[in-house]
A and B are shown apart, each in its own frame.
Chain A
Amino acid sequence: SQQGEEDPQALSIQEGENATMNCSYKTSINNLQWYRQNSGRGLVHLILIRSNEREKHSGRLRVTLDTSKKSSSLLITASRAADTASYFCATGGGAQKLVFGQGTRLTINP
């Protein structure tokens, strides 16, 4: 069963615009991670945010975490064609069984 649920399932924007994806989860977590997957390829780790953190930045990525609402968001600023991919949130508990959502398919149109 999936723990994280990404929203929207699909997102299509113009190059240069910002893309925001959301993730909701059900149980308490130690940390939440975001991954990117290009079509048919492996998952690439983007960023990890701990349960005691509220916001984290990495380059054009900004992740927020609201543990009271059990939700996280991933913002990609100034999107590029190369950002076209599926984005997954994954929650990790103590046993490090990362549980992934269904992902958001992001398409950046030139």
Chain B
Amino acid sequence: DSGVTQTPKHLITATGQRVTLRCSPRSGDLSVYWYQQSLDQGLQFLIQYYNGEERAKGNILERFSAQQFPDLHSELNLSSLELGDSALYFCASSALAFSGTGGNTIYFGEGSWLTVV
């Protein structure tokens, strides 16, 4: 158990709909990351928050948005869903914002399976 909690575990929704994925980081971790894993794209970094502020942005679509709340939990909002958005969405957390040479181990949750039909 990594200590990162994601809900829901599975979600089936129709095209055009909007869903919210929730993540609670490990106790004490200030950084939250969102990743998307699909068969054709592999693991894609979406976005990172550190202590409530956006820190880094990856391949996140404009239809997607995220935020980190004062209690450090994070939500990923996916709207106007398309079939291609079906994927496993991971939340991860770490203590630090930057890795530097010392590294900054990132701990992953079990993911939220999203199926768009």
Contact = CB atoms under 8 A, between A and B. Distances in A.
Are A and B genuine complex partners? yes
Contacts, number: 81
B100 interface: yes
B94 A30 contact: no
A100 B55 contact: no
Contact of A33 (B88, B102, B103): B103
A3 B13 CA distance: 32
Interface string A74-110: 0000000000000010001111111111110000000
A92 B88 CA distance: 22
Contact of B105 (A30, A45, A50, A95): A45
Interface residues of A, number: 28
A48 interface: yes
A102 B42 contact: yes
Nearest to A30: B101
B56 A95 contact: yes
A41 B111 contact: yes
A50 B102 contact: yes
B43 A100 contact: yes
B59 to A, nearest CB: 8
A95 B98 contact: yes
Given A93-B99, A96-B48, A102-B42, A41 B104 contact: no
Interface of A: 2, 30-31, 33, 35, 40-45, 48, 50-52, 88, 92-103
Given A43-B90, A95-B55, A97-B45, 14 more contacts: A2-B42, A30-B99, A30-B100, A41-B110, A42-B2, A42-B90, A43-B108, A44-B2, A51-B101, A88-B43, A97-B56, A100-B35, A100-B42, A100-B45
Q: 10 tightest CB-CB pairs across the interface, nearest first?
A: A100-B43, A42-B108, A96-B99, A43-B108, A92-B99, A48-B103, A42-B110, A31-B103, A102-B42, A95-B56
18 contacts: A30-B100, A31-B103, A33-B105, A35-B108, A40-B113, A42-B108, A42-B109, A43-B43, A43-B108, A44-B108, A45-B105, A92-B103, A94-B98, A94-B100, A96-B104, A96-B106, A100-B42, A101-B42
